[in-house]
Amino acid sequence: GEDVEQSLFLSVREGDSSVINCTYTDSSSTYLYWYKQEPGAGLQLLTYIFSNMDMKQDQRLTVLLNKKDKHLSLRIADTQTGDSAIYFCAESASKIIFGSGTRLSIRP
C-alpha cells in the first residue's frame, strides 16, 4: 500500500540550510507536496513538484525529486526562527497520503 516516511525531528542553527527528507512508495504519484503546519494552525502549502520534474526552486525553497529512488527533499536556505514548524510531505496518486511530519527547530 501507499506509505510516506519522514524523520521526526530536525534541529538547525539559524542562518544555516535545513534539508528535510521524505520517501514514498507509490511510483504512480503525480504530485508531491510540502506543507508547513505551525502550532494550532492548519496546513500551509509551501510548494509542490510534478513527478516529471526533478527540481523546483521558489525563493528560499528548493525541492529535489529522485523518482527512481522515490525520494523527495525540501531545502530551506537561510533558515529563520519563523521557519520553526512541522513539515509534511504528501504524495498524490489515487489518494493523497501524508508523511508523519518533521518537526524543525531552530537554535540560535
Residues that bind another protein (CB under 8 A): 30-31, 33, 35, 42-43, 45, 48, 88, 90, 92-101
How far apart CA 24 and CA 97 sit, in angstroms, is: 9
What does the radius of gyration of the chain's CA atoms come to, in whole angstroms?
A: 13
Q: Please, which residue, 24 or 33, has the CB nearer to another protein?
A: 33
| Grid cell of 64 as nine digits | 529535489
Q: Please, which residue, 9 or 13, has the CB nearer to another protein?
A: 9
Find out whether 88 and 4 touch, Cβ atoms under 8 Å: no
Q: Could you tell me the smallest distance in angstroms from the CB atom of residue 63 to another protein? A: 15
How far apart CA 56 and CA 36 sit, in angstroms, is: 17
Q: Please, which residue, 52 or 82, has the CB nearer to another protein?
A: 52
Q: Could you tell me the smallest distance in angstroms from the CB atom of residue 78 to another protein? A: 25
